[in-house]
Every structure is written in C-alpha cells, then in structure tokens.
C-alpha cells in the first residue's frame, strides 16, 4: 500500500465519486463524510505490480536516425529502445512511454532435495571420501539467493566469475553448480584480493600427503575428503599462512581458529584439522 494525499476537486462533496491520476494510475475515490471541495484527504492505494504504470517522456531523435531505425533512450536509470516512426527524422521530438521497472526475481528456496542431489553429483565424481556438505549448502544458498545470477553469486563468494562464465553447462542448475564448485572445477577463488600482499607459499604433493595422513590418523573410519584438503592447502599457501585472510577467502569467521594457533602453524596441520571440523567456524 502507498500513502498519498489528494485534494477534493471543485463541485465534489461527501459521498460523491471523483477520478484522479497518480503516477500514471487512474484511481476512483469516494469523497469521505465531512469533506468537500478543496479539502485534503489521505488515501492508501495499491499500485500495479512492478511499480507504477508507464510514464511518458519527450525525446529528440538523434542525428542519423530515420524511420524504421532504433535508438536507445535512458530515463531515470531505465534504458530502452524505440523505433523511429514514419514521418519523423533527426532533431524531431517524440513522446514515448517509459516501461515500468521490472520487479527483481524472487529468491529460490534451498531444499533438502537440492542438497542430496548436489551431494550425489559430487560424490559420483570423487575418487574417495565424501563432498563437504557445509560447502555444498553454502553454494546452494548463494545460488538461490541470487536466483542463478553467476556474477552476483561469485561476487558474494569473493570470487572472480570470469572463468565460471566460460563454463555455462557447469552452472545451469543449483545442484550442478554446487557439485562442480566443491570439486574445484571453476578454480577462480580470489579470497581477500584487496588485502596487503603476503608471501605466497608453494603448494606441494608432499604437503597434501602429510595433511591426508594427519587427518586419516584421527578418523574413526573412512578417508579424508581429498578435494577439501587440497582446497584448504591452496587457500593456506596462497595467503602465506595468514589465518585471518585464509578464513576470509574460505568465507569463514577466523575468530575461533585464532584461539587455536597450534592447529594452524603448518599448512598440513591446518588442512587436516579443518577437514576434521576442529575449527567449527563455517557460516
């Protein structure tokens, strides 16, 4: 509902109906009891979905535009194309309607079925272990909140969408997007790129093997998630062991991790403990 104040026209008294226009919308109003010509009355009105009706604006046909050709008009942040009608040419004025702004798409809802399907897709491509359900759900939430808009999703993740946008088949469903993100197919993590540079460490297979061994030795059964281990090590090394920046790159809160420095003093120890959930700081 929108609150507006209007003036009762001349010749209209209590109980009589009159018509007014508000932002392109025609409204019929009954003059309230005790009111008459010149009185101000407050109304609550419903506007059409997506905003008010289209408005008119005068524009001048640009040079070089003749009947049948199109040119672009921008008015109050809305850009739209219009065709030059017959009998009109450069320098002449036209009255055109500005389309009403479209309502933003409604956010999608994350369901357990989405999580299960994304988990199944990711697990079917893993050599061993299981996908990280926390990361899967995080991916799905961001995908749905941004209605599948890839630049917006990757911006929310702190990533560069450029490479992902070159792989549209990896992104056409929320389940496919989440599964492929967890498996590292996009490889576009940028983390806290604006932060001061830190010396980058070199990721090695020896690091990965040591982290895997540390994690497996503390597991009751099964094997550590190799993809998650590699992701943790990559984040750790690319930020030179700066835990605050590492966790920011992983979209986590470093507060709890920083209370446990002995869990983070080597890349292997950090990755092993992260995979085992010792930090418990996933948002």
Q: Which residue has the higher pLDDT, 89 or 203?
A: 89
Q: Does residue 177 form part of some domain?
A: yes
User: What pLDDT, on a 0 to 100 scale, did the predictor assign at position 116?
Assistant: 92
Q: What is the pLDDT of residue 157?
A: 72
E-assigned strand segments in 25-180 = 25-30, 40-45, 55-60, 70-75, 78-83, 93-98
Is the per-residue pLDDT at 233 higher than 60?
Answer: yes
Q: Give the integer Cα–Cα distance in Å for 140 and 118.
A: 9
Mean pLDDT of the region 124-130: 78
Cα 251 to Cα 283: distance, rounded to the nearest angstrom = 7
Q: Mean pLDDT throughout 157-163? A: 67
Establish if 198 belongs to a structural domain: no
Domain of residue 69: give its range.
58-98
Does residue 107 contact residue 147 with C-beta atoms inside 8 Å?
A: yes
Based on the structure, what is the number of domains in the chain? 4
Picking from 24-38, 140-154, 172-186, which range would have the lowest pLDDT averaged per residue? 24-38
Residue 209 structure tokens: 């093997």
Q: What is the chain's alpha carbon radius of gyration, rounded to the nearest angstrom?
A: 30
Which pLDDT band holds residue 258 (cuts at 50, 70, 90)? low
Domain stops at, among 182, 197, 225: 182
Q: Let me know whether 116 and 176 are in one domain.
A: yes
Q: Say whether both 93 and 119 belong to one domain.
A: no
Query: Is the pLDDT score of 81 beyond 50?
Result: yes
Say if 268 falls within a structural domain: yes
Across all residues in the chain, what is the average pLDDT?
Answer: 76
pLDDT for position 51? 46
Which of these ranges, 60-64, 110-114, 222-226, 239-243, has the smallest mean pLDDT? 239-243
Instruction: Judge whether residue 234 has pLDDT over 50.
Output: yes
Residue 125 has pLDDT above 60, yes or no: yes
Buried-exposed string 92-103: b where 16+ CB fall within 10 A, e elsewhere:
eeeebebebeee
Is the confidence at residue 247, as pLDDT, over 50? Answer: yes
Buried b (16+ CB within 10 A) or exposed e, 137-147: bbbbbbbbebe
Residues 125 and 169 in one domain: yes
Please report whether residue 217 resides in a domain. Answer: yes
């Amino acid at each position: 509902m929108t609150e507006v104040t209007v003036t009762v026209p001349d010749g209209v008294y209590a109980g009589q109906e009159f018509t007014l226009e508000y932002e392109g919308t025609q409204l019929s109003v009954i003059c309230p009891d005790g009111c008459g010509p010149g009185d101000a009355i407050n109304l609550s009105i419903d506007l059409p979905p997506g905003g008010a009706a289209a408005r008119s604006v005068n524009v001048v046909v640009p040079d070089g535009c003749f009947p049948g050709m199109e040119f672009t008009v921008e008015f109050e942040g809305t850009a739209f194309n219009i065709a030059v009608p017959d009998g009109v040419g450069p320098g002449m004025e036209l009255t055109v309607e500005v389309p009403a702004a479209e309502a933003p798409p409604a956010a999608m809802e994350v369901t357990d079925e989405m999580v299960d399907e994304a988990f199944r897709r990711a697990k079917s491509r893993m050599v061993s272990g299981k996908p990280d359900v926390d990361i899967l759900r995080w991916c799905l939430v961001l995908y749905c909140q941004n209605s599948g808009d890839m630049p917006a999703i990757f911006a929310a993740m702190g990533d560069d969408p450029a490479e992902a946008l070159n792989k549209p088949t990896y992104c056409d469903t929320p389940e496919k997007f989440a599964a492929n993100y967890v498996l590292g197919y996009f490889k576009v993590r940028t983390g806290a790129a604006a932060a001061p540079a830190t010396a980058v460490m070199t990721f090695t297979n020896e690091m990965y093997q040591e982290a895997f061994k540390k994690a497996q030795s503390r597991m009751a059964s099964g094997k550590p998630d190799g993809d998650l281990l590699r992701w943790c090590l990559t984040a750790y090394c690319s930020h030179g062991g700066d835990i605050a920046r590492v966790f920011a790159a992983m979209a986590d809160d470093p507060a709890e991790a920083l209370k446990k420095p002995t869990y983070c003093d080597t890349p292997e120890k950090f990755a092993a403990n992260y995979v085992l959930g010792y930090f418990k700081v996933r948002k």
